[in-house]
């Protein structure tokens, strides 16, 4: 298979070596690990675990963001297909070949993604979805999307993981950047990742641009990918949430701004930052509670 793999690493620990091993076992031609200035032992563990000329490590002196690092890997490769894979993911046996079969089955398909699973085998959210318009995002953010079972036209969610799993590859509006297999031909037509995003929503942006350029995006339910969700980001929730919400606004501004003129647009902006405030308050409360519990345990031991 003329497929190269791009893995953007940031403090993935031992998971990185497992990820690289899984793609080599699946027959990838070359693996480009683009490291965004990790401070853990992930690269040392990778080098100690895997000695293979098919693995290239590209070291950045600073964290350039996910999109910029993906582009570095894409430019380093000359393969006809590229798999962008998170370092906290492991390909199940046969999954890469299955995704390749679907990608090559139709000239209009430009991107495919597999079934993202938790370690217990359950499906994760985000692997198949429709675009999170401001309205859909509002419904989900404020707990109204559960009303979609009765009023789908008004309260529908943009995540599809609670829908029945399709029996065959199915076109969707968007998949997750945790696992994206793309044709080089489509990338040259659409363009590389938008480096204006630092972390989060760059995958939605790319899916939207593929769609606008008439390239189909397909979800492959029988290509399983085990994903340890959030393994690289849970230690810095405020940083992640800031860039997630900044990315949401960039995405909305690029593709939905004309649909929300005047004061309505500023309500969208207000809603995004209101959500950021609520999420940040939640994480701050969790951190304070953990510190109090730690202090109490320390006092008991003393």
Mean pLDDT in residue range 20-38: 96
Tell me how far apart the alpha carbons of residues 25 and 182 are, in angstroms, rounded to a whole number.
Answer: 20
Check pLDDT > 80 for residue 241: yes
Tell me what pLDDT residue 257 has: 86
258 DSSP 8-state letter: G
Mean pLDDT in residue range 103-113: 98
- Which contacts (CB < 8 Å, 24+ apart) does range 190-194 have? 190/110, 190/215, 192/70, 192/71, 192/74, 192/75, 193/66, 193/67, 193/68, 193/70, 193/71, 193/74, 194/67, 194/250
Kindly report the average pLDDT of the chain as a whole number: 88
Mean pLDDT in residue range 65-70: 97
Check pLDDT > 60 for residue 212: yes
Tell me how far apart the alpha carbons of residues 103 and 180 are, in angstroms, rounded to a whole number.
Answer: 11
* Six-digit token string for 40: 């853990």
Tell me what pLDDT residue 157 has: 60
Query: At 274, is the pLDDT very low, low, confident or very high (cuts 50, 70, 90)?
Result: confident
Tell me what pLDDT residue 145 has: 57
Tell me what pLDDT residue 153 has: 54
The larger pLDDT score, comparing residue 298 to residue 117, is at: 117
Mean pLDDT in residue range 219-226: 97
* Six-digit token string for 236: 């810095």
- Which contacts (CB < 8 Å, 24+ apart) does range 229-233 have? 229/88, 229/118, 229/124, 230/88, 231/12, 231/13, 231/15, 231/88, 232/9, 232/10, 232/11, 232/12, 232/86, 232/87, 232/88, 233/199
The larger pLDDT score, comparing residue 57 to residue 52, is at: 57
Please, are residues 186 and 111 in contact by the beta-carbon 8 Å criterion? yes
Percentage of the chain beyond pLDDT 90 is: 62
Helix (H) or strand (E) holding 91: strand 89-91
CA 217 to chain CA centroid, Å, is: 15
pLDDT in tens, 172-209: 999 999 999 999 999 999 999 999 999 899 999 999 99
Tell me what pLDDT residue 8 has: 98
Tell me what pLDDT residue 155 has: 52
Mean pLDDT in residue range 260-274: 77
Across 50-59, 83-92, 269-278, which has the greatest mean pLDDT? 83-92
The larger pLDDT score, comparing residue 27 to residue 233, is at: 27
């Amino acid at each position: 298979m003329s497929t190269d793999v791009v893995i953007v690493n940031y403090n993935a620990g031992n998971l990185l070596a497992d990820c690289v091993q899984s793609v080599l076992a699946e027959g990838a031609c070359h693996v480009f690990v683009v490291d965004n200035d990790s401070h853990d032992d992930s690269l040392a563990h990778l080098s100690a675990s895997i000695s293979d000329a098919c693995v290239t490590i590209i070291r950045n002196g600073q964290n350039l963001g996910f999109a910029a690092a993906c582009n570095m890997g894409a430019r380093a490769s000359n393969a006809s297909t590229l798999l962008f894979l998170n370092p906290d993911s492991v390909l199940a046996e046969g999954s890469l070949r299955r995704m390749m079969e679907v990608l090559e089955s139709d000239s209009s398909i430009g991107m495919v993604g597999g079934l993202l699973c938790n370690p217990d085998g359950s499906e994760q959210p985000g692997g198949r979805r429709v675009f999170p318009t401001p309205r859909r995002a509002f419904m989900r953010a404020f707990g109204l999307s559960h009303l979609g079972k009765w009023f789908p036209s008004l309260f529908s969610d943009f995540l599809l993981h609670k829908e029945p799993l399709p029996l065959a590859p199915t076109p969707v509006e968007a998949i997750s950047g945790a696992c994206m297999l793309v044709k080089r031909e489509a990338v040259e037509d659409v363009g590389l990742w938008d480096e204006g995003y630092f972390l989060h929503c760059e995958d939605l942006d790319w899916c939207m641009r593929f769609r606008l350029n008439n390239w189909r995006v397909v979800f492959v339910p029988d290509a399983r990918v085990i994903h340890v969700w959030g393994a690289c980001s849970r230690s810095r929730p405020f940083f992640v949430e800031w860039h997630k919400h900044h990315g949401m606004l960039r995405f909305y501004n690029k593709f939905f701004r004309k649909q929300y003129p005047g004061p309505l647009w500023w309500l969208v902006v207000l809603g995004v930052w209101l959500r950021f405030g609520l999420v940040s308050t939640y994480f701050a409360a969790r951190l304070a509670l953990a510190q109090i519990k730690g202090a109490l345990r320390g006092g008991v031991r003393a």
